[in-house]
Amino acid sequence: MDTDDLEPIIKPKEIDFESLSIEELMEYIVELKAEIERAENYILSKEKDRLNAESLFKK
C-alpha cells in the first residue's frame, strides 16, 4: 500500500464568486495556477523518487 493512500484529501473551501471583483477573481486564478504548478512539480519529484527506488531494487 502506498502511504499516499493514507493521507487525507483536503477539500478546498467554496468561494462565493458573486462577492469577488474582477481583479480578485484574476488574482484567485493566478493563485490557483501557482498551486497547480506546485502540485505538478511535486508529482515530478515523486516520480523521480519512485524511479530511483525501482532502479535500486532491480540491481
The one-digit pLDDT tens for each residue of the chain (59 residues) are: 566 667 777 877 889 999 999 999 999 999 999 999 999 999 999 999 999 988 888 76
Go through 19-50 and write b for each residue having 16 or more CB atoms within 10 A of its CB, e for each that does not: eeeeeeeeeeeeeeeeeeeeeeeeeeeeeeee
The whole-number pLDDT of residue 3 equals 63
Residue where the block lists cell 493521507? 7
The whole-number pLDDT of residue 34 equals 97
The whole-number pLDDT of residue 4 equals 63
Residue 12 and residue 51: Cα distance in Å, rounded?
31
The pTM for the full model equals 0.66
